[in-house]
Amino acid sequence: MNIQDLEARATQRLDAERTAKVESITALAGAAERVVTVRTELADAEKNHTAAYSKALRLGWTDADLKEFGIEQPGKKPSGRPRSQRKPATKTAPDAHQGGDE
């Protein structure tokens, strides 16, 4: 074994791992930044939706009218069946008559 070759191979490997780690942080930071941007855009869109919906009501449209057009009330959760919560599995207690003391 040549020590210089081993050193070069080890350095290459560490450099590749370092590069991958730095690239993963760059990608993560970009994704996190995008989440912040989209959340801000969503908040702005919800404000605009609320204002426009209120204006439509003030101008004489009813909730039923707007619903017929497919426009939901601002802040209203989508209709449909709510998701059920999973209950943790319960263990059954052993039967009291299983001991052979009969």
Residue pair 36/61 in contact by the 8 Å Cβ criterion:
no
Distance, in Å, from the CA atom of 49 to the CA atom of 62, rounded to the nearest integer, reads 15
Model pLDDT, residue 66: 96
What confidence category does residue 75 fall into, taking pLDDT thresholds of 50, 70 and 90? Answer: confident
| Domain layout of the chain by residue ranges | 9-68
Model pLDDT, residue 100: 52
Residue pair 57/63 in contact by the 8 Å Cβ criterion:
yes
Arithmetic mean of pLDDT over the chain: 87
Nearest alpha-carbon partner for 43 in 79, 73, 78, 75: 75
What confidence category does residue 102 fall into, taking pLDDT thresholds of 50, 70 and 90? Answer: very low
